[in-house]
Amino acid sequence: MEGMGGAAIAEMLRENCYITEVDLSDNNLGDYGARAISGMLKVNSTLVSLHLSGNHITDQSAEDLGRALINNSTVQHLDLSFNTLGDHAGQILGDSLSDNTSLRSLSLGWNSIRGRGAVVLANSLGVNVFLRTLDLSFNGFSREGAIALGQALKENYVLEELNVSNNRIPPEGAIRLAMGLKANKTIKFLNIGRNPIQSSGCYGILQSVQENPDSAMETLDFSDITVTQDFEDLYTTVKEMFPVLRVIHGGRIGTLSKTKS
């Protein structure tokens, strides 16, 4: 559709009071189309689900998207994945999430949010009391973003699913994020796979679940990260406390070499 087509759809949605779900993924709407959609969201009161994945939306649309999130009170599911949103967008969207009262799920995966943008976005979780599912995969939260997420999880009491896979998070970042899990009572699913957190980071996160008797954790995803026997032993112990807990990882260190021998 490109920008003009997106603007035409946006104009229609200003008047339509019946459509509740719109999927405009992979239409190359660009910033022109994104701004038109954002303007529509300020007046539309029926749309519940909006998919804008893969539309070459950049930081130039951040201000408009931010205002839309603040003014709109009906959209519950928003997908902005596979775009080129960066630090500026992260800061604007983070500030807007602090005031948003309708979103239940938000996907920002496969963007370029890092640095200050990642920290502000993470901090917004500390005050948002509506979001249930957040996908931040394939960004660049790194150490600082993970630390901010850990602090936010201490204060957040509604988020149930968090995906921070492929975010260049180091072991220290995982340990600091784990500190938030010690106090959190709602997270059921955490995907932190494909990060360089090593077995020590996995161990710290699993240990935080063990030390939280009120933990709601059901799935820990450490995909493509190999773990030690110490981790496996801890998992056996934690499994006795939380029988429903499922852990996914990339195998145990030493297993592959033994098989090869």
Mean pLDDT, residues 165-180 taken together: 98
pLDDT tier for residue 255 given thresholds of 50, 70 and 90: low
| 165 and 102 fall within a common domain | yes
| 92 and 10 fall within a common domain | no
pLDDT at res. 77: 98
pTM, two decimals, is 0.95
Write the pLDDT tens digit of every residue in 104-159: 999 999 999 999 999 999 999 999 999 999 999 999 999 999 999 999 999 999 99
| 89 and 66 fall within a common domain | no
Is 77 part of any domain?
no
Mean pLDDT of the residues in the chain: 96
Is 78 part of any domain?
no
Mean pLDDT, residues 185-211 taken together: 98
Write the pLDDT tens digit of every residue in 8-29: 999 999 999 999 999 999 999 9
Q: Are the C-beta atoms of residues 96 and 69 closer than 8 Å to each other?
A: yes
| 13 and 109 fall within a common domain | no
| 106 and 229 fall within a common domain | yes
Is 18 part of any domain?
yes
| 97 and 210 fall within a common domain | yes
Of 23, 49, 72, which closes a domain? 72
pLDDT tier for residue 254 given thresholds of 50, 70 and 90: confident
What total of structural domains would you count in the chain? 2
pLDDT at res. 259: 41
Q: How far is residue 161's CA from residue 217's CA, in Å, rounded to a whole number?
A: 10
Using the structure block, give the residue that is written with the tokens 């494909």.
Answer: 194
Q: How far is residue 186's CA from residue 178's CA, in Å, rounded to a whole number?
A: 14
Q: How far is residue 77's CA from residue 110's CA, in Å, rounded to a whole number?
A: 17
Q: Are the C-beta atoms of residues 141 and 118 closer than 8 Å to each other?
A: yes
Is 67 part of any domain?
yes
Of 48, 72, 96, which closes a domain? 72
* Closest to 129 in 3D by CA, of 165, 93, 157, 162: 157
| 68 and 119 fall within a common domain | no
Largest CA distance in the chain: 69
pLDDT at res. 257: 43
* Closest to 58 in 3D by CA, of 94, 31, 33: 31
CATH number at residue 11: 3.80.10.10
Mean pLDDT, residues 237-244 taken together: 97
| 44 and 100 fall within a common domain | no
Q: Is the pLDDT of residue 260 over 50?
A: no
pLDDT tier for residue 66 given thresholds of 50, 70 and 90: very high
Q: Is the pLDDT of residue 55 over 50?
A: yes
| 32 and 155 fall within a common domain | no
| 64 and 110 fall within a common domain | no
Alpha helices, H only, the chain: 2-15, 30-41, 62-71, 87-97, 115-124, 142-155, 171-181, 198-210, 229-241, 255-260
Domain range holding 1?
1-72
Is 92 part of any domain?
yes
Output phi, psi for 222, to 5 deg.
-115, 40
Which regions of 102-227 does DSSP assign to beta strands (E)?
A: 105-107, 133-135, 161-163, 189-191, 219-222
Q: Is the pLDDT of residue 258 over 60?
A: no
